[in-house]
Structure 1
Amino acid sequence: MTDRTSDWSPLVTDPDGTYAQTFQDMRGRCPVAWSNDFGGFWALTKHEDVVKACKNPAVFSSAPQFTVPHLDLGFPWLPLQSDAPAHTAYRSVLTPFLAKPRIQGMVPQFRELARNLIAPLRGKSEFDASMEFAQPFAGEALCLALNVPEDMWAEFRSWTSNIVTAFSTGNLPLILEVSNAVSEYVTREIKDKSENPGDDLMSAMLQARVDGRPLTQPEIHGYYMLLTSAGHDTSSNSLGQALLHLATHPEHAARLRAEPELIPRAVEEIVRFYGPLIGLGRQAVQDVEIRGRQIKAGEQVALVWAAAARDEEQFEDANSFILDRPVTRSVSFGFGTHYCVGADLGRVQLAVAIEEFLTEFGNFELSGEVGRTIWPTQGIRNVPVRTS
């Protein structure tokens, strides 16, 4: 660990449980900030710096690590933990399942999922909009898009729930427990789909080639681990943030009911403003200077999407939530080579879920304490609401 004075700690949130004020302060006072947490790391908080880092994998590499803190379980978390040109091949395995035309064609199925989850909530005066709607919807929609067998959905959701809890609490034994369960599943599926291929994700992975070779079992394990964490958590966090926002801003809920054509813009603003995934990691593979700070080869660097997405130099009135803000080049879905492969799925999921929730519940308000996660997500675990 480098002996430096710490500029901030990601383990300390603002009084409201978010990082909004902290990141605003850092952008002005110390835009390239050092933290002594997690063995020491740099945080890039300006939009310009984050974009430049994304464009320069020769300096800021994803292959050694993609998270801060670094989590090495003996396999790469694919496709994120890779650099070009291998990244292109790894990413292409998921692309057919998450391509925009396919996702758009699945809107009726996503609506059915949403309505099925809403059905048992009808007539309830109070329920948890995150636990009972946002989290299961995000998990089931992802499973549906990836053609995960329906009899695996419950187990898949248990993995996502446990791994999110493990990340937010630093519970390494729980991460290992999930990893072992995923490994057992991968072993069973490889055997089954080798003998009985279909149109599911595992079959596609077994047919994929990287540099002319098939994927290894650890690589396949890494795909499933990433999907159970980032693939699910970002969408459930965004939807939880959306429902919390609408519960506390009834004027916005009313406007979206009256003008549902604004929902896609609202989705972009929710993701920009609330930053459900705070940031991802890189490792500096050579010395570099940014804004007078000397980053050494081998040091951890966090690209803080949530801070960059509220950069006052990039976005007009950046710290205000503007429901119908024109679509801007936010980095909340990442940037460059590592732009989120599931971005179209995320957008469609959010739009469908918001519209169905607003259609069903004419009035709802926050009725209790909100449960939040901390670094590396601004997640919403609980949104207790009262309907009328």
Structure 2
Amino acid sequence: MLTKTLDAAIADPSMYADPGAYHELFAQLRKEDPVHWTEIEGFRPFWTVSKYNDILEIEKQGDKFINWPRLSLNSIADEERVRAGSGRGSTVSLRMLVNMDGAEHRAHRSITQSWFMPTNLRKLEAELADLAKEFVDRMEAVSGSCDFVKDVAVWYPLRVIMTILGVPREDDHRMLAWTKALLSSEDEEMAAGLRGVEARQAAIQEFFRYFGALSAKRRAEPKDDLASVIANAKVEGQAISDFETQSYYLIISTAGHDTTSSSSAGGLLALLQNPAELAKLRANPDLLPSAIEEIIRWVSPVTHFFRTATEDYVLRGKQIKAGDSLMMCYPSANRDEEIFPDPYTFKIDRTPNRHIAFGYGPHLCLGLNLARMELKALFKELLSRVDTIELAGDPAWIKATIVTGLKRLPIRYTTRKQAA
């Protein structure tokens, strides 16, 4: 039976740090009430949408289900704190691609879309390979054991996106600290000082100061990097506002690495927990592209986004009213038994694999091709150089409601150099 306890769990960051609990809860929802009216004390009510086809139905209709103004799960108190501090009367801190709609979204997406197309990204292949080698070299240098999250998974995708943006390497630590404050401040172990909305607002201000200065430099002296594209962006012949510019930098710099970090670590854990699949991949490296897709499905680091109905609508027999919010739960959709045979089995050669970890429709993740390239480069380098690899302790997940993943993955390994 569905209860208030279940509803409360949907908003509990601790539940997202326990994959078993998460998948048990959402399997129940998919079976008993896949479009579930959710009422939680301290939150505006919403519909929890847990099945794959229902999420696609919403995502395909961007005119009927819009991103603005509610993008993610936040308490009423947090929304009001943002409203009070925004100076704009808005409960949303930023004005970026993921909370734009229609023609405005298309125009702003077009600013950087060509940068993230495969034809342009091919020029990065050698650089990605070099960075992957650098981080596996680091593993080799620490004598056979490390925390894969803290030593590799958070740094490698961060350096990739910062290279593209033109951010110098010496600023990586600051970028990572601000990203943690923005996306992981619900976890007391990850938070440094401020927690919750206060930490997020402070991090936004730090990002804005940093990228405001970088914008000024790139407007004065443009370079061949993504920062110059954003700094000098125009829509319909007019420069975008400073607020939109800084928001653009922020979404690229955070979403551009944090989700790939989660997929890198979660993918390695899945391979370690499924040694037959790891052996299969070692024996047939041509399976790497399909393995990457299964890793992304398996991890699904973005737990949800919200949409708001612009008109009355019936979804799976439930009457959605204009103005209602809907929470689209991507990890649940990617375990939907009607779409994925044996969804709780990790299969590197799963086909078809039509996961929606990158979203769907107009808001399909801008950086999906880059993420795939990064993961392919890292696992290609790792698997070609590591002879043995195993867990060296218990993994642990971040307590966070929108983007989650591992915060610890202790491993032991031997590389070919060590084995020799």
TM-score for both structures, normalised by structure 1: 0.92
**SS of structure 1 residue aligned to 2:72:** coil
Please say if 1:49 is aligned against 2:54: yes
- Return the alpha-carbon distance in structure 2 between the equivalents of residues 111 and 257 of structure 1: 18
2:274 touches 2:346 (CA, 8 Å); kept in 1?
no
Q: What is the CA distance between 1:327 and its match in structure 2?
A: 4.0
Q: What is the CA distance between 1:7 and its match in structure 2?
A: 4.8
Q: What is the CA distance between 1:58 and its match in structure 2?
A: 2.2
Q: What is the CA distance between 1:382 and its match in structure 2?
A: 0.9
Counterpart selection for 2:113 from 95, 113, 116: 95
Map of 1:33 onto structure 2: 36
- Give the residue type in structure 1 aligned to 2:268: L
Please say if 1:142 is aligned against 2:161: yes
Q: What is the CA distance between 1:209 and its match in structure 2?
A: 1.9
Structure 1: stretches of 5+ with no match in the other structure: none
Map of 2:310 onto structure 1: 285
- Return the alpha-carbon distance in structure 1 between the equivalents of residues 115 and 197 of structure 2: 31
- Return the alpha-carbon distance in structure 1 between the equivalents of residues 131 and 230 of structure 2: 26
- Return the alpha-carbon distance in structure 1 between the equivalents of residues 17 and 63 of structure 2: 38
Map of 1:155 onto structure 2: 174
Map of 1:118 onto structure 2: 136
1:268 touches 1:327 (CA, 8 Å); kept in 2?
no
Please say if 1:132 is aligned against 2:168: no
Counterpart selection for 1:13 from 5, 12, 15: 15
Are residues 76 and 44 of structure 1, via their aligned partners in 2, closer, same or farther at CA, if it must alter by over 3 Å?
A: same
2:396 touches 2:407 (CA, 8 Å); kept in 1?
yes
Number of matched pairs = 385
Please say if 1:333 is aligned against 2:369: no
Are residues 25 and 14 of structure 1, via their aligned partners in 2, closer, same or farther at CA, if it must alter by over 3 Å?
A: farther
- Aligned-residue Cα RMSD (Å) equals 2.3
Give the % identical residues.
27
1:166-315 counterparts in 2 under 5 A? 166=185, 171-315=196-340
TM-score for both structures, normalised by structure 2: 0.85
2:95 touches 2:243 (CA, 8 Å); kept in 1?
no
Q: What is the CA distance between 1:6 and its match in structure 2?
A: 6.7
Are residues 327 and 152 of structure 1, via their aligned partners in 2, closer, same or farther at CA, if it must alter by over 3 Å?
A: farther
- Return the alpha-carbon distance in structure 2 between the equivalents of residues 134 and 15 of structure 1: 18
* Cα deviations by residue, 1:161-213 (Å, 9 ceiling, x for unpaired): 33232255661121112111111112212222221112222321233222332
- Return the alpha-carbon distance in structure 2 between the equivalents of residues 157 and 53 of structure 1: 33
Are residues 15 and 282 of structure 1, via their aligned partners in 2, closer, same or farther at CA, if it must alter by over 3 Å?
A: closer
Map of 1:384 onto structure 2: 410
Map of 1:68 onto structure 2: 73
- Range 101-110 or range 293-302, more displaced: 293-302
- Give the residue type in structure 1 aligned to 2:37: W
- Return the alpha-carbon distance in structure 1 between the equivalents of residues 333 and 211 of structure 2: 37
Map of 2:89 onto structure 1: none
1:167 touches 1:175 (CA, 8 Å); kept in 2?
no
Structure 2: stretches of 5+ with no match in the other structure: 87-91, 189-194, 415-420
Map of 2:192 onto structure 1: none
Q: What is the CA distance between 1:16 and its match in structure 2?
A: 4.6
- Range 298-307 or range 47-56, more displaced: 298-307
* Cα deviations by residue, 1:95-139 (Å, 9 ceiling, x for unpaired): 232111222331221121122122232152321011111110111
